Chains A and B, each alone.
Chain A
């Protein structure tokens, strides 16, 4: 029993939930306050994308689903919308090795920026598909531009945290 509990506690997914809770705390407080050009930087989405670029499509999709569900909990959009978008975005980010045989840190950084921006664009589209229309406006261009830049610049730190969070442990 204790070994099972230990295994569960040391699992990468438990660690992911705990780290995501902290990141969600940052997302809803400091990042929600600090909005350059009135744009909030989607840390949770970029973290999910980082998981995809490091560990591939499958791990990325599961990570995106978990992170997205947690993000959904604090949004007023339907539950499952962010998880769908985050999961799909991280899945796409995980396809990086299909295009670049040996990704370097900077190709990963660029991927996080570009795919993160696409994920941010996908969110209002998904909203429209479930009846919450009206968010696809010209302002989206500014949003995705800033997300792309912020994602690329913040990628080294995100990759570091993501690698530690989702690394396989001997127990897990």
Chain B
């Protein structure tokens, strides 16, 4: 038993140190095991299909109908979105800012999930031969999927963004909801209603008609135009484009199988306002980030307020369906933090 523990601990230590021996061992084993796995997959496919047929038939039918509906809705929007994306990339390129279009990518097929209840990863059929390196971001047609954590000659392991080990800086594009405030004045009839939003939205000042009363005989109130002195002078000059959404950065962290990732370290600055459910979340980018900027990650599904200065905790609906990955795209972008000395 002691020998067993010692052997295992030595192996763990070697692997955590990034030993090339353990990497070579894994690579060799993969080469031997791959054909066995392929044969087993072929042999057991009828059983797997039967299982899916029994357990997922209703879900698949419902999902199929939903997808048809969604396709119909999105066909028109997609054309407009593509044009906007093109325009945005051109603008970014003109200003010398990094864009996804400028990063080469490799497509790969997902060839297996992690055979464990406690690891959230998938295996893909491309590796170092295609230029893939550890740390590169992986996406599918919908959005961010994860990052490469292990790479071999012609296969690689992708850690999914739901894994508790995964963390990434993200931006929340918030569109604060307008709030209405009534300012009490001396005369309630002349109350001023201010529809206010954080600075980025044009403020509107509404002044109700002033109620005019008179004690002079023969004089009918309302028959003349009473002089009005606006209490708030609203000659505000709003610069063009100031009504764009507000962005704030936070850190996205996976929480394991069956639990949605969260974003924390959100600064609840006055300008940012209250985070709304449904706000989109994209990668933040930056020199130390694991991914280039503006890759879609998901949307805010729930905002959990916390006491003190901790700021809100956002639960995220990931746009990529991680339970049903078939093809993915690996951006050939290796973050500085993942680079190893040659």
Contacts and interface: CB of A to CB of B under 8 A. Distances in A.
Which of the listed residues B4, B9, B39, B117 has the most CB atoms from chain A within 10 Å of its own CB?
B117
A104 interface: no
Contacts of B257: 38, 139
Given A76-B159, A130-B12, A135-B256, A24 B118 contact: no
Interface stretch (A3-11, A80-88, A155-163): A80-88
The prevalent SS among residues of B at the interface is: helix
Given A79-B22, A83-B11, A30 B115 contact: no
B36 A21 contact: yes
A28 B115 contact: yes
Interface string B24-65: 011001100100110111001001100110000000000000
Contact of B115 (A27, A120, A131): A27
Contacts of A72: 11
Contact of A134 (B1, B13, B159, B164): B164
Nearest to B149: A76
Contacts of B10: 80
B30 A78 contact: no
Nearest to A130: B12
Which of the listed residues B29, B30, B39 has the most CB atoms from chain A within 10 Å of its own CB?
B29
A27 B33 CA distance: 12
B114 interface: yes
Contacts of B52: 33
A65 B11 CA distance: 11
B109 interface: no
Nearest to A33: B48
Contacts of B260: none
B4 A87 contact: yes
A29 B22 CA distance: 24
A43 B266 CA distance: 43
Contacts of B149: 76
Contacts of A30: 40, 44, 47-48
B258 interface: yes
B12 A22 contact: no
Contacts of B329: none
A83 B118 contact: no
A21 B259 CA distance: 32
Given A76-B114, A76-B150, A133-B164, A25 B40 contact: yes
B274 interface: no
Interface string A46-83: 00000000000100011011001111111111111101
A25 B12 contact: no
Given A25-B40, A30-B48, A40 B115 contact: yes
B251 to A, nearest CB: 14
Contacts of B243: none
Interface in A5-39: 21-22, 24-34, 38-39
Nearest to A69: B11
A91 B4 CA distance: 10
Given A73-B25, A137-B256, A139-B257, A83 B115 contact: no
Contacts of A42: 116-117
B321 interface: no
A83 B33 contact: no
A98 B319 CA distance: 54
A66 B179 CA distance: 65
A87 B4 CA distance: 7
Contacts of B36: 21-22, 24-25
B162 to A, nearest CB: 10
A50 B255 CA distance: 33
A134 B164 CA distance: 5
Contacts of A84: 4-5, 8-9, 12
B44 A26 contact: yes
Nearest to B21: A79
Interface string A132-161: 111101010001000000000000000000
Nearest to B13: A80
A79 B30 CA distance: 14
10 contacts: A26-B40, A30-B48, A40-B115, A80-B14, A87-B1, A87-B8, A88-B5, A91-B1, A135-B256, A139-B259
Interface of A: 21-22, 24-34, 38-40, 42, 57, 61-62, 64-65, 68-81, 83-84, 87-88, 91, 120, 123-124, 127, 130-135, 137, 139, 143
